[in-house]
Every structure is written in C-alpha cells, then in structure tokens.
Amino acid sequence: MSSVAPRVFWPAIAVVIGFVLYAVIGQDVAARQVQYVQRELASKLSWYYVALVSLFVVFALWMCLGRFGSIRLAKDDEKPEFSVGAWLTMLFTAGMGIGLVFWGVAEPLTFFAEDPRPGVGGDEAARSEAAMVQTFLHWGIHPWAIYVVVGLAVANSVHRKGRSISIRWALEPIFGDRVKGAWGDAIDVVAIVGTLFGVATSLGLGVMQVASGLDFIDAVHDPGKPVLVVLIIVITGITTLSVVSGIGRGIKWLSNVNVGLAAAVALFVLVAGPTLFIFNGLVQDLGGYLQNMARLSFDTGASHGAAGTDWVNRWTVFYWGWWISWAPFVGVFIARISRGRTVREFVCGVLLVPTLLNIVWFAVFGGSALHNELFGQGDIVGAGDRVNEDNALFQLLQTLPGGTFVVGVAILLGVLFFVTSSDSGSYVVVMLASGGNPTPPIWGRALWALMEGAVAIALLMASDSESDTASLDTLKTVAIIIALPFSVVMIGMCVATLKSFRKDYPVALAVRQESRRGRAADELEPRV
C-alpha cells in the first residue's frame, strides 16, 4: 500500500462505501433527504450558479485572448506530449461521454414539445429554434469553460511548478504550504468521491439506454436487472482493460476509435436525413446561440415568475451543477494530457473545438428529429407530447435506411462513449488516490474501475420495482450537491492561476525574447 496516499485513499473508500450503504439500506428516506437538499440548493442558489458559470466563461476567454496566452504549460522549450489530433479526441470523449448519445435527440425534442422554456412563443418554428439554442447553451462553451478553470490551474501546478497531479496544488499560490495538510486532503477526497459518483451514475443510467436499444431491435426482450448487471460487468471489464493499459495506449486508441465511429454515424444521419434542413438549421441556430448567449447565460427565469425559475432550476442549474461535479475528473485529465501546450492553445482546444463538435452533433441529430416532427411523420414524440429519452435516438435512426443496423452501431457508440469517459475518470481517481503519481500502479487503476461498476450494480439492484433508478438518482443528486463546495474551490483556482501567471509572465516573456534573438542571430550568421 506504499503506492497510495493513505490520508486520501482510505477516507475516500470509507465515504463511498458509507454512502452506498446509506442509499441501499435507507433507499426511500435517502432519496427524499438528498432530493430535498438539492431542491433547496437549486431554489436558493440558482442565481449563484448562473452568475458563476458565466464568469467562468469570461475567465477562460480572458486567459485565451490576454497576455498570459503565450505562457507554456511546461518548460518554455518543451514540446507537447501528444499530437493535436490525439489530444483533441481525448478532450472530446472525456468531457461529454454518453450524454451526447443519450440527449442528442431527446433534449431538443423535449424543449420543443414536452417542456419548452417559459416565454417561448407557441409557434412551432419559434419553439424549434429556441429548443436548439437552449440545447447549444447547455452543451456549448459554458461546460467547457468550467473544465478550463480546473484544467488550467492543475496544468500550471503540475507542468510548470513540478507538483504532483492533485487538485490541492492548484491552490498553492494562495494557501502556500497549508495545502499539504487536512484541507488539501479534503479537497482531493471530494474530487475522488465526486468523480466516482458521477461516473458510476452515468454507467448505471447509460446501460439502461443500451438495454433499451437492444430491446428496440429485439436482441433482448423486456430487459430486466440481470441484463443490466451483465451489461455493467461487460462495460466495466472493457474499461478496466483500457485504463490498465495507460493513456498512451488503451485510452488514446479507444478515443480515436470512438470519435471515428461517432463521425461515421453523424455523417450517415446527415446524408440519409434531411441534409439541407440540417445545414440551414445549423447556420440559423448557431447564429441564434451567438446572439442570445449573453442573455441566456444570465437568465434566471425570474421575469416569468415561479414557472420560469423552476424551469431554469430543473434544467440549466442542474446542468451547471452536473458539469461542476465532473470538473475535478475532466479538469485533471485534460491537464494530464496537455503538457507542452501554451495557455492559448489549451483554452482554444478545450473551449472551442469540443463546443463546435457538440453543436454539429446536436444540429445533425436534434435537427433531424425536429424535421421529423415539423414536416415528417412526427412519430418520435409520443402521446401527451412525451419524449421517451431512452429510445428517442433509436426511433430517429429507425426512420432512416438500414435503420436496424444503424441502431446497433449507435448502441456500440454509446458503449464506447461511456468507456472512454470511465477509463479517463478511473485514471484520474487513481492518480489522486496515489498522491498525484502520473503513472499510478496497475492494481490501483483496476481497483477504481471495478469499484465504479460495483457501485452502479449495488445501487441498481437496490432500487425498487416502481423506480428502477431510485438509488442511482440519489447518487446523481449527491454528485451535484458536491458541486457546491467544489465551486468555491474553483473560484480559488481562478485567483491562484492569475496570481501565478502574473508572477511567471515576466520570466516567460524574457525567455521567449531571448529565444527569438537567438533564432534571429542564427539566421543572420553566414553559412559556409
């Protein structure tokens, strides 16, 4: 056990096991208590989440466009560890994961038919555009700005300051050696617990969509909990093999395969679906997103009364909390793979490229679904304007040529999206639990990957027959509650990053100028 940080490892294990027992044994009471806390936080602090995440966007853009953008997240002459292509694919698959597959069709349709935002006009065309713009907001620049804050702070402490990979060291410019004590341990424990809870929840809920897809193509009839457990075991096994092989092999390889398969499915839907409508919608909705981003970013729904604030709390505030709860894992992972990038490269890569890919993804899948409702058969939205979130993607694909085969490919894509998020999360957890070791022990990687699967199985099996996801929903809600204290840590990260960069900038500028003078002298030197 010498390869673990005992003051982080054992408390994290204890918290995880303790909460699983709490959620399993006192299932109904635990669900009510946790949901009550979440509702209170959302209703009382929605203004805080809305304002804070918008300010994170401002911070990220400032880092990119300002003078600190030229600072290199490594030694000043060091080259990046990964190629641009491999780096971007790992960024994309780690940050969004199964959510793109799950919500690609379901979210725009929900905002269009089932649960439009209060104040949106009753006209179908207006609701269609508003649905896409709102979806772009939730999956666009804002979540990636959250990841930029954590990733930049950790990358600075690890690659420039030579610290171990840990959340605590990102706050060293503010607290100094105090981060070595109990507060630093607590921050890392929160990061581990939040990451494991978030990944385990996504695993449990993700396999339900996979099972629904298998049922949709009649590969499995009326899948119950035994089928879900088998799926969790299979996905956990793939994840374990990937994370054991390391970032440079399994994780990078799976990320490349995942992005390639996702691109193939999206291209198929683009060509086989309403191509012209998708392109027109992409341009129009992207323009609407850019025009309305500032207004929607700070809109708490107050002007529409209780209905408006309730909608914002249920959707936007929920998303901001969910992305913050994932920030320790995604931030640490993108910091780990970004050695050698400049701050400007880092922010542009993390903020802009995945955002554009997400927008294209929702334009293709969400746009196709909206076209089906506006001009086609309109058979994806069910009675009472209800949207079946588990089956919405498969219902859309079934309307296209070769639908059953493409549904099977989409199921495989969902599995790969989850695996690439889970192996990244497992790698981050074991790095934190081993004291920031960038190449943590293989047994630790396997342990935390298996724990994610075990937690998902335990909570899924504990859920009663009336609500198959009761305990998993409780876990998801706790992950979002954890976002509140971590949001305060993120504010500290912004301050610490600024303080560190202001100190380092004159030195980095001098090194860069000296390098330029050296290159100029070499060019002027006569060649023999």
pLDDT for the residue 465? 47
Q: Which residues pair with 142 in a beta bridge?
A: none
Span 158-171, average pLDDT:
91
Span 344-372, average pLDDT:
94
Lowest average pLDDT, out of 303-307, 313-317, 341-345, 419-423, goes to 419-423
Residue 519 covered by a domain: no
pLDDT for the residue 96? 63
Q: Which residues pair with 72 in a beta bridge?
A: 342
- Per residue in 375-410, pLDDT (tens digit) is 988 789 988 889 988 899 999 999 999 878 999 999
Mean pLDDT of the chain, nearest integer: 86
CA nearest to 251, candidates 259, 243, 263, 260: 243
| Residue 453 reports pLDDT greater than 90 | no
pLDDT for the residue 35? 82
| Residue 463 reports pLDDT greater than 70 | no
Dist CA 514 CA 512 (whole Å): 5
CA nearest to 166, candidates 437, 491, 494: 437
Q: Say which amino acid occupies 318.
A: F
Residue 527 covered by a domain: no
Residue 141 covered by a domain: yes
Q: How deeply is 231 buried, as exposed, middle or buried, from its count of CB atoms within 10 A (0-12, 13-18, 19+)?
A: buried
pLDDT for the residue 523? 55
Yes or no: say if 254 and 242 are a contact pair by the CB < 8 Å rule: yes
Span 159-185, average pLDDT:
91
| Confidence grade of residue 521 (pLDDT, cut at 50, 70, 90) | low
| Residue 135 reports pLDDT greater than 90 | yes
Return the CA Rg of the chain: 23
The number of CA neighbours under 13 Å toward the Cβ of 490 is 32
Residue 60 covered by a domain: yes
Lowest average pLDDT, out of 415-419, 429-433, 489-493, goes to 415-419
Distances (CA, A) of 367 to 289, 391, 413: 15, 17, 20
Span 308-321, average pLDDT:
92
- φ, ψ of residue 149 to 5 degrees: the values are -55, -50
Q: How deeply is 162 buried, as exposed, middle or buried, from its count of CB atoms within 10 A (0-12, 13-18, 19+)?
A: exposed
| Confidence grade of residue 496 (pLDDT, cut at 50, 70, 90) | very high
More confident residue, 37 or 282: 282
- φ, ψ of residue 72 to 5 degrees: the values are -95, 135
| Residue 510 reports pLDDT greater than 80 | no
Residue 239 covered by a domain: yes
Percent of the chain with pLDDT over 90: 40
- Its domain, for residue 463, covers 6-294+307-509
Residue 522 covered by a domain: no
pLDDT for the residue 90? 76
| Residue 466 reports pLDDT greater than 60 | no
pLDDT for the residue 1? 44
pLDDT for the residue 462? 65
The answer to pTM > 0.85 is yes
| Confidence grade of residue 169 (pLDDT, cut at 50, 70, 90) | very high
Span 173-191, average pLDDT:
90
| Residue 120 reports pLDDT greater than 50 | yes
Residue 516 covered by a domain: no
Name, in order, each residue with C-beta under 8 angstroms of 176's C-beta and a sequence gap of 6 or more. Answer: none
Span 180-188, average pLDDT:
90
Long-range own/partner contacts, residues 268-275 (CB < 8 A, 24 or more apart): 268/400, 268/406, 269/364, 269/365, 269/368, 269/396, 269/397, 269/400, 270/364, 272/400, 272/401, 273/364, 273/368, 273/371, 273/400, 274/367, 274/368, 274/371, 274/375
| Confidence grade of residue 513 (pLDDT, cut at 50, 70, 90) | low
Q: Say which amino acid occupies 417.
A: F
Residue 436 region by backbone torsions, left for phi larger than 0, else alpha for psi between -120 and 50, else beta: left
Span 403-420, average pLDDT:
86
User: What's the domain count of the chain?
Assistant: 1
Span 424-451, average pLDDT:
84
Q: In degrees to the nearest 10, what's the CA dihedral of 52, 42, 190, 343?
A: -20
More confident residue, 22 or 96: 22
| Residue 464 reports pLDDT greater than 80 | no
- Per residue in 233-273, pLDDT (tens digit) is 998 888 888 888 866 666 677 777 888 898 899 999 999 99
CATH number of the domain encompassing residue 283: 1.20.1740
Residue 301 covered by a domain: no
Span 345-359, average pLDDT:
91
Determine the distance from the C-alpha atom of residue 508 to the mean position of all C-alpha atoms in its chain, rounded to a whole number: 32
